Amino acid sequence: MAALEQIPDLAVRPDYITWLHEVGAALASVQMELDAWRENWPYDFRKDYEAGVSAHDAAMHAQDFWWQELMAESWT
């Protein structure tokens, strides 16, 4: 593991729009359409992007957020 820490990070970070498309693809793979859910409950994708969160992890964060919002509405 120590050897891996010595290798500089060579990964190129995609621009926000490319990253957001990757988030959309990850959400589509779990049968969630990005635009359909964002209409009702805006999720701060920019915050995840700026924090260096992977597109897949951001999609899972959004999915969790949206389900919590949906469940909160169903109890009101």
Residue 50 covered by a domain? yes
pLDDT digit string, tens, across residues 38-56: 888 889 999 999 999 999 9
Boundaries of domain holding 63? 13-67
| Total domains in the fold of the chain | 1
Residue 74 covered by a domain? no
What pTM did the predictor assign?
0.77
Residue 40 covered by a domain? yes
pLDDT digit string, tens, across residues 12-23: 889 999 999 999
d(CA 57, CA 51): 11
Residue 8 covered by a domain? no
Residue 76 covered by a domain? no
Residue 7 covered by a domain? no
**Nearest in space to 27 (alpha carbons), one of 70, 56, 67:** 56
d(CA 30, CA 52): 22
